[in-house]
Structure 1
Amino acid sequence: MGINNLSNLIDAHKWFFNVQAGNKILYITALLILLALIIVLITKKLRIPIVVGYVFLGILLSEDLITPLPFLNKLQKEWYFFVIDSFGYLTHIALGFIAFRIGSELTIKLFRRLGKDILVIVILQTLAAFSLVTLSLFTLGQPLYISLLLGAIASATAPAATVMVLREYNAKGPLTSVIMAVVGIDDALALIIFSIIEPISLLIHKGQTELTIIKTIGIPLIEIIGSLIIGLIVGYMAQYFLTIFKDRTKKILILITTIMGASALSIYTGHSPLITNMAVGFACINFTDKNLEISDYLEIITVPLYAMFFILAGTEIKFTGLKPDFSLITFTYIIARMIGKIGGASYAAYLVKAPKKIQKYVGFNLLPQSGVAIAMAYTIQNQFATDTSTLIFNVLLFTTAFTEVIGPLATKYSISKAGEIETEAS
């Protein structure tokens, strides 16, 4: 088997070289970056969040809309689809930076001031989204295992779009602090829920009823605790080097090495790169009293990475091969999830007597879904029948497209109404 794998690898290497695949990747990368620049100019002019433009651009560049174009031949289209698919690694890198950014905002001082309140908000809005989506889809006539899976996925909130909008408008204030904390912890809880629900759904799908504590709770907890331990260790070492080195170039390289290295290590050991990098960011900001200027460095190095990430998210949308009741299922999923997220967060904020603007607006920042939710859908593809995985994956892709557009607009609206936009981007 090793010889065959080596032979295949050599053949692939020769093919890659002979057809100059690297040049094709360069051409399309250059085109995407150019289009990203045009999108930035347009969105700045229209005064809408940049991420909305990125996602719309990605939808326009999706396979279903590129395929009918008459001015591209079949070979050019196939090369385009091949290159787009080859960018999958960018998702891991972008999510690593996003998770690190969130973790770096979670200071111990913030938890001391808002810790219990934040946990209440996270738990209630997560459980509300899970419960409402599960019950709504089951009432609609979907099998229990599909309803449970989509309910578990609905609990996840993609932090990338929200964080990007907060950064773009330099938002500061109590609402912004709570938002950063909630979206930072949300995915950890969502991963726990999904890790428990997935094996239960699989057993229901197969007609089995035997469940064990180890499978439903033990393994997910081991993965999460392991991710936290790896992240805290890597983060402690990173902040040490960031503290002793003063040179800007060294600090930027240390930061990039840390985030990408933590992602690689967590994936290799079977842990969560998202939780790992959150722990890295948390350790970097809390294990030292010095200002490491992390935000300044991230501001510079993540601009093209985030652009590619959101454009590629838009290209994943598919309009063909959908079931007749797909629209109703997707609509029910989106509405039930939005009610759960907004209603659950607002009610939780009311229970903990948070300031009025937090009660009114915190839920509007929890709508986007992309990275973690799509990763969950990929897991389902490997475990369930094709019809089930295709339905769930398409629901997630359409939800991603919708929420990655409406979510940033809702975030800008909420921080604007709360008076926490410090500077309008120009």
Structure 2
Amino acid sequence: MLNALSETVPVLGVTLLLCMMAGKMSKKLGVPKVSGYIVLGALLGPGVFNFLTHSFTESFSFFNELALGLILFNIGGEFNKKLISSMKKDKILYSILSVQLVVAFIFFLFFILLSTTTTLPLSHRLIISLFLGLIGVEAAPPTTLLVLKEYNAKGLLSLSIKVYLAFATITAVVGTLILTKFLEYYGFWHVPQTGSTLLFAEAIWNIVGSVIFGVTIGFLLSYFERFETKVGNILFAVIAAILFGQSLSYYLKVDSLLISLFLGFTVANASSVGEKLHESVKDIGGSIYALFFVLAGTHIEFGKLAGSVGLLGIFYIVSRILGIFMASFAASYALKIKEESIKYYHGLGVISHAGAALAIVNKVKLHSEDSAQLIFNIVVASIFVFEVLGPFLLKIALLKSDEISSWNPTKDKTSKLKLEFRDIIEHFKDNITPKQQEETFKSAISPLVNTDIVAIQADANLESIKTYLGDHSPLYPVVDKEHCFMGTLNLSSIKKVLEKTEDDPLVTAHSFIGESIFIPSNSSLEGARDIFSMTQKEVLPVVNPINRVLEGIIFSKDILVSLSKGEKHFDE
């Protein structure tokens, strides 16, 4: 155990560092981060450098389960009042119908290709084609949601894709479960209970039990949230709930993916702050998802898979892409969908393929039959193509639908005080050098200034402002591009505007500047106390009086505590 840990930690450290570099490089190249993580995983995995070995990835199977749980929780959480009220009935029906048609078209196309080019028995061709049709509908929720979040996409197409993800996941999980039990019952896949009606009872319990547990845990979590005020504790409770659901799936033979999906749906709609909680959970997943995609990429072993299922892998890739596009157009025609963003670009947006598909085929792999092993190899062989191609196509679809403003993501409109490396060293020396109490009292306010403060730029739009306010800072300063202080945001004005409009590119942070009161960075403790006394504020920005650069914030209580210590010292 100790040896395994001592080998895992160094590998994990290097991998996480490379994840950060891959994310930064992807952003510079205009490539979705997901693609960068997948490629990194493929390079580090057994197929190329073998830095991330099979034993390493297997030791992180629990991590994949947690990441998938968070992802499914997020998908379920998307089905809140805001989504349902913003989409018309025909758009929701479109996504549902697309899911069913994708299954049918992939099955039909792959079966035809398989029948005309191979001599596999009819039963094998039907089993493989049916499974791939059901698995092929899954559109990689982790990949797709991360791209939508990275580019801050909003509009009908984005909403339609989110609805598709939920119903595609349910269809893939439930459909493959029922098909597996059918094959086991009739002896196509051998299990000890072949021919027993208990197999179908297990399938029903797996589905119904998952829904019951997901909803029940969701209600309990919503109830717990009412007694907790700290965000950190609530987020911990969410992760604990997801892991508890996975524990139930292990002991009670239910499905962890469905539990997480319905858990997210219940919390988003049962809790009075469900939508905010859902947004908070989405924000904590960056590093978790990065490692998840790198580990997913390690499954790609080019030489091994190309040699065993090269042609069948190509058939599946072609059948899935054609099936998705055919289903998209057929559903549009059947429901008379006129919006071009959905009609022409929905198919482009759901090409990604991994996540839940990997979870499903890993269960299929447990069966030793040739058909089961072929299904596993075909899906895994296709992942690299879909996970590299999918994010690009989704990005194109969002751009063509005008749901993202440009090919590159919106630039971050926040900034922090820029420090030279020597400033950091000086700060370090000041903190570790002992000072006399009297000397500390006579010094300026600099030791009390919190320099790790994020400010928003004056030209930031409403969307950037909303993201910035979500960080729950004690103060919201506005700065120019040189980080010069301009004032603080007037929160009441922002709230009034947000109630009237979703977004307006002409409205910027500059429009919401309220007060411009600050404390000069060269102030004495007494001077700072006087400014706080006159303004009746609890916290104020600290600004360099010469160049007006924002240097941080300072709290009134810290000034008063420091002064009281100094007074006690002199009284002595």
TM-score using structure 1 length: 0.84
CA shift, 1:319, in A, is 3.1
Q: What residue identity is the alignment partner of 1:329?
A: L
CA change 1:213–1:289 in 2 (3 A) is farther
Counterpart CA distance in 2 for 1:345 and 1:330 is: 23
2:351 to 358, 367, 389: 367
Matches within 5 A, 1:101-180: 101-108=74-81, 110-111=83-84, 113-114=88-89, 115-141=92-118, 142=120, 143-144=124-125, 145-180=127-162
Counterpart CA distance in 2 for 1:188 and 1:369 is: 15
1:353 to 310, 314, 336: 336
Counterpart CA distance in 1 for 2:65 and 2:372 is: 22
Q: Which moved more, 1:234-243 or 1:39-48?
A: 234-243
Assess if the C-alpha contact under 8 Å between 1:377 and 1:392 holds in 2.
Answer: yes
CA shift, 1:244, in A, is 3.8
CA shift, 1:300, in A, is 3.7
Assess if the C-alpha contact under 8 Å between 2:19 and 2:290 holds in 1.
Answer: yes
CA change 1:252–1:325 in 2 (3 A) is closer
Counterpart CA distance in 2 for 1:339 and 1:155 is: 12
Assess if the C-alpha contact under 8 Å between 2:37 and 2:294 holds in 1.
Answer: yes
Assess if the C-alpha contact under 8 Å between 1:39 and 1:50 holds in 2.
Answer: yes
Structure 1 vs Structure 2 CA RMSD: 2.6
Unaligned runs of 5+ in 1: 1-15, 68-76
CA change 1:324–1:313 in 2 (3 A) is closer
CA shift, 1:351, in A, is 1.9
Counterpart CA distance in 2 for 1:130 and 1:108 is: 35
Counterpart CA distance in 1 for 2:198 and 2:30 is: 49
Match of 1:313 in 2: 296
Matches within 5 A, 1:22-421: 22-67=5-50, 80-108=53-81, 110-111=83-84, 113-114=88-89, 115-141=92-118, 142=120, 143-144=124-125, 145-201=127-183, 203=186, 205=188, 219-290=202-273, 292-322=275-305, 326-354=309-337, 355-385=339-369, 387-421=370-404
Assess if the C-alpha contact under 8 Å between 2:211 and 2:262 holds in 1.
Answer: yes
Q: Which fold has the larger relative contact order, with Cα–Cα distance below 8 Å and residues 6 or more apart in sequence?
A: 1
CA shift, 1:318, in A, is 2.0
CA shift, 1:422, in A, is 6.2
Q: What residue identity is the alignment partner of 1:177?
A: L
Q: What residue identity is the alignment partner of 1:400?
A: I
Counterpart CA distance in 2 for 1:109 and 1:136 is: 43
Deviations 1:129-151 (A, max 9, x none): 23333333233324323333333
Assess if the C-alpha contact under 8 Å between 1:149 and 1:201 holds in 2.
Answer: no
Unaligned runs of 5+ in 2: 412-572
Deviations 1:88-146 (A, max 9, x none): 11111111010000000012564463343332232222332233333332333243233
What is the identity percentage for the equivalent residue pairs of Structure 1 and Structure 2?
28
Assess if the C-alpha contact under 8 Å between 1:231 and 1:277 holds in 2.
Answer: yes
Assess if the C-alpha contact under 8 Å between 1:148 and 1:201 holds in 2.
Answer: no
Deviations 1:258-315 (A, max 9, x none): 2222222223321111111110111111113445522442244211110111000111
Report SS of the residue matched to 2:366: helix
Report SS of the residue matched to 1:63: coil
Assess if the C-alpha contact under 8 Å between 1:152 and 1:197 holds in 2.
Answer: no
Counterpart CA distance in 1 for 2:275 and 2:141 is: 23
Q: What residue identity is the alignment partner of 2:167?
A: I
Q: What residue identity is the alignment partner of 2:103?
A: T
Assess if the C-alpha contact under 8 Å between 2:106 and 2:323 holds in 1.
Answer: yes
TM-score using structure 2 length: 0.64
Deviations 1:333-357 (A, max 9, x none): 1110111122202321332233221
Counterpart CA distance in 1 for 2:115 and 2:183 is: 13
Q: Which moved more, 1:316-325 or 1:37-46?
A: 316-325
Counterpart CA distance in 2 for 1:117 and 1:323 is: 36
CA change 1:107–1:206 in 2 (3 A) is closer
Deviations 1:212-262 (A, max 9, x none): 895786543432221111111111111222344222222221222222222
Deviations 1:153-198 (A, max 9, x none): 3233321100110011111111111111111111111223222333
Which structure: larger Rg? 2
CA change 1:260–1:398 in 2 (3 A) is same
Counterpart CA distance in 2 for 1:217 and 1:366 is: 31
Counterpart CA distance in 2 for 1:51 and 1:164 is: 7
Assess if the C-alpha contact under 8 Å between 2:213 and 2:259 holds in 1.
Answer: yes
CA shift, 1:23, in A, is 2.4
CA shift, 1:41, in A, is 0.9
